Amino acid sequence: MKIKIQSYSDIITNSSSELFKVHTSHSAKFIEGILEDMLKIYNKLDNTSFELKDVLGISESRGDIVIYSVRDNSIPWMIREFIENTLHGDREYLG
């Protein structure tokens, strides 16, 4: 049996992967520093020891900052809320 795949999102099933697109004058490095500080607070509150690479990736694309989860539900709620509400990030679910 052959399955026609039109895009990579066609093969993502039942996942909670997320991507945020943030239009800002700040660099990805600046935003990364803020998110690292927030993750330190999260780790203290939740008694965990995540590093940023454990929960999200960040890059620049066409003048925007792209922040994405590295696995299903990997970005802590408080960081997702900050990205969406403070940085005005547009959230896309990838599956």
Sheet harboring 18-23: ordered strands across?
Answer: 56-61, 64-69, 18-23, 90-93
pLDDT at 16: 74
Compute the CA torsion angle 61, 57, 81, 62 (nearest 10 deg).
Answer: 0
Q: How confident is the model at residue 8 (pLDDT cuts 50, 70, 90)?
A: very low
Choose between 49 and 16: higher pLDDT. 49
Mean local confidence (pLDDT), 3-21: 60
pLDDT at 10: 46
Domain boundaries 16-93, corresponding CATH code: 3.30.70
Q: How confident is the model at residue 95 (pLDDT cuts 50, 70, 90)?
A: low
Q: What are the residue boundaries of the structural domains of the chain, listed by start?
A: 16-93
Task: Give residue-wise pLDDT tens across range 20-73.
Answer: 999 999 999 999 999 999 999 999 999 999 999 999 999 988 889 999 998 888
Choose between 18 and 46: higher pLDDT. 46
